[in-house]
Amino acid sequence: MRFYLIDDSPNIINILKIIIHERELGQVCGSAESAVDALEDLPVLRPDVVVVDLLMPEMDGITFVKRAREIVPEAAYIMLSQVTSKDMVADAYSSGIEFFLHKPVNSIEVESVIRRVCQAVSMRKTLSQVHSLMQQVPRPAAPSAVSAPPPQPAAGNDAASGVRQRAENLLRCIGILGAAGSRDIIELVCYMAEHPEAKALSVSALCGRVGNAKTVEQRIRRAAFTGLVNLASLGLEDYNNEIFTEYASTLYRFEQVRKEMNCISGKGASHGKVQLNQFLSALVSYSAGEYY
């Protein structure tokens, strides 16, 4: 991953550079002490992850992120600040950031947040590549439920059992374990973890692995949407809730979670939407232990 760092304190930039280098998180491709200068660098450097201070002279971090997303929309943005104001944090998330890093900088928190964001960026790139490939080749036909019964972990298969247990725990965290569709989700996660090539299948083809493709997809979509609503509700109560910060931008696109938050609070009329490809792929990554 390529990082770009922005802070009006050169000491903070140096600390972040050291952490990124020593923890082998990626490469710092550039840095600036001014958001205005950074906007000139972004079109040339096109980093994967941008870490920006919230409060800076000339241009604050929220304004910067809004402008930067027009230049490098594919990048992920992390906000760095001492601010604890709920309204300001809400504005920052609305601008398009994925996570907050709190000052004073803590190396453990920096590593944890950056690894989460890098996983999300990698997943989005993979989904984009798969989508491009799907546009170029004929879509595989969905197998019937009779010819492809729901996959079950082999007896004594500790790895498969671990995937299933982690998937159940995650669905429990977002409040949808036991909901109609949760069993279908778990079966698909187990299948995709065992067959990595299945990520190239369409959602419809995947759903055909566990039953009637249309019916299963409807159940999964309803369950995933319930999870989105639950996360949005958590975010309204506390932006720093661990479940909210962990899953709002990995299982879902954060802008859609934010949209649902606005809908719940009466600030918007439209609900957030679920991208099932991202939802299932993220579940597989978590359940297979790829997120850490």
Quick check: pTM over 0.75? no
How far CA 148 is from CA of 27, 119, 142, 207, 212, in Å, comes to 44, 31, 10, 11, 11
In the chain, which segments carry CATH 3.40.50.2300? 2-123
The CATH-assigned architecture of domain 2-123 is 3-Layer(aba) Sandwich (3.40)
Whether 113 and 106 have beta carbons less than 8 Å apart is answered as no
What does the pLDDT read at residue 12? 93
Integer Cα distance of 64 and 57 in angstroms: 11
Task: Say whether pLDDT at 154 is over 70.
Answer: no
Q: To the nearest whole number, what is the mean pLDDT of the chain? A: 83
Residue 234: band (very low, low, confident or very high) from pLDDT cuts 50, 70, 90: confident
Residue 130: band (very low, low, confident or very high) from pLDDT cuts 50, 70, 90: low
Residue 141: band (very low, low, confident or very high) from pLDDT cuts 50, 70, 90: very low
CA angle 108, 112, 114 (to 5 degrees): 115
